[in-house]
Amino acid sequence: MIRTLSGYAVAVVWLVMAGCTDTPEPEGFAGLADSAPESAFRQPSAEDRIELPGDWGAHPQHRIEWWYLTANLRTADGQPMGLQWTQFRQGLEPRPVTEEPPPAARWPLQSAWMAHGAVSFQGHHWFSERFARGDIGQAGARAEPLQVWLDHWRLEAVEPGRWHLTASGENWSYQLELAPDDRVIRHGEQGFSAKTDSGQGSMYFSLTDIGITGTVTVDGTEHQVNGTGWLDREWSSQFLRSDQQGWDWFALRLENGGRLMVFRVGRGEGGFRSGTWRGPDGNVHSLSADQIQLTASVWRATDHGRVPAEWRIEVPSRGIDLIVGAPEGEYWNRGLYPYWESPVTVTGTHSGEGYMELTGYHRP
């Protein structure tokens, strides 16, 4: 979600630093107070490779990263429910991955963390966000065994092939058991996902078929749920260019076994498009901009501005022509930098479900 973190970077760092140090107010994300210049962080490239399980852990030599789960669930009586959990790390000073962090007693400030959680159900949307200072134990991530946490929000491996996720906010909470799929999709060039024509990008991989069971509580009512999750893992040191306003991202599970991820950075035909198709046969194919057509077909008026709530997504070379739409309701994550995060249904040449994230449509 380099798509959202570019807007969050200053806000997160400023909140964590407020009252801790005497610093000037930042001016855009180029003005992160007391942070190392972008060039000091390690830049991802097409020569890099994803190494697992190590890359489930933090990358302190890179500037930005996130762990990002969306899930399409059903309650015991068959009602659809959407769920999101995301944790971000924002680096302020680079550190080699093999080097231990400074002692927590020194109150170090090499990184800041943020987490988002949301539940979407029956046209309602519950959302919360949390912040933490890095390297003092309040938040962090480890690869073996997997642990990603911020306060009591936590994703962790409890035994091989079984993870536990817990989070809660105002009038919502979830306690979930996850069975991770072992078919890892490496996006782009063996995991390097370009975000511009000039080669800026991130390392990016996904698990698209995570079995989920557990309980979700909203407004005091507990629901037994089961369904499937999609987990993105991404890291970089490069923010989006200043002329790349807005991000449209889709992660779709099709009933024929196909899995489709597509995104557009920037608006209109000038936006940078990319994607990945894993066919029912399990073969993975990178999709270039000229293979993807994205058209906003239905707009919805909301309290925060008009949002393209329905899209046509075409990949003619793969025989894909889809209508992707959000359910009725408003699905704004109303944090420091509001963005739209909703479950979607899929019709057209294929049926299915998934998730959609839209940024840059919020009206201040």
Q: Which residues pair with 113 in a beta bridge?
A: 89, 132
- As a three-state string, the secondary structure of 160-222 is CCEEEEEEEECCEEEEEEEECCCCEEECCECCEEECCCCCCEEEEEEEEEEEEEEEEEECCEE
pTM of the model: 0.90
In tens, the pLDDT along 236-286 reads: 997 665 566 789 999 999 999 999 999 999 877 778 999 999 999 999 999
What per-residue confidence (pLDDT) applies to 17? 45
247: which residues sit within 8 A by CB, 6+ positions away? 3, 4, 240, 263, 264, 265, 357, 358, 359, 360
3-state DSSP assignment of residue 36: coil
- Asked if residues 286 and 276 have their Cβ atoms less than 8 Å apart, the reply is yes
201: which residues sit within 8 A by CB, 6+ positions away? 44, 188, 192, 193, 194, 195, 236, 238
How many CB atoms are closer than 10 A to CB 62? 21
What number of CA atoms fall less than 13 Å from residue 296's CA on the CB side? 17
What per-residue confidence (pLDDT) applies to 14? 43
| Record: fold of 2-359 | AttH-like fold (2.40.370)
What per-residue confidence (pLDDT) applies to 31? 28
- Asked if residues 32 and 8 have their Cβ atoms less than 8 Å apart, the reply is no
> Domains of the chain: which residue ranges?
2-359
First to last CA, the chain: 21
Q: What is the DSSP string of 217-261?
A: EETTEEEEEEEEEEEEEEEES-PPPTT---EEEEEEEETTS-EEE
Q: Match 């800026």 to its residue by tokens.
A: 200
d(CA 69, CA 84): 6
22: which residues sit within 8 A by CB, 6+ positions away? none
What per-residue confidence (pLDDT) applies to 244? 61
For the chain, the C-alpha Rg in angstroms (whole number) is 19
In tens, the pLDDT along 23-36 reads: 333 333 222 333 46
Q: Could you read off the pLDDT tens digit of each residue along the chain, which spans 364 residues?
A: 544 444 444 455 545 544 344 333 333 322 233 346 656 899 999 999 999 999 999 999 999 999 999 999 999 999 999 999 999 999 999 998 888 888 988 888 999 999 999 999 999 999 999 999 999 999 999 999 999 999 999 999 999 999 999 999 999 999 999 999 989 999 999 999 999 888 789 999 999 999 999 999 999 999 999 999 999 999 999 766 556 678 999 999 999 999 999 999 987 777 899 999 999 999 999 999 999 999 999 999 999 889 999 999 999 999 999 999 999 999 999 998 899 999 999 999 999 999 999 998 988 7
- Asked if residues 191 and 55 have their Cβ atoms less than 8 Å apart, the reply is no
Q: What are phi and psi of 99, to 5 degrees?
A: -95, 135
| Strands 64-75 and 80-91, bridge-based pairing | antiparallel
What per-residue confidence (pLDDT) applies to 243? 61
The angle at the Cα of 92, spanning 89 to 95, to the nearest 5 degrees, equals: 85
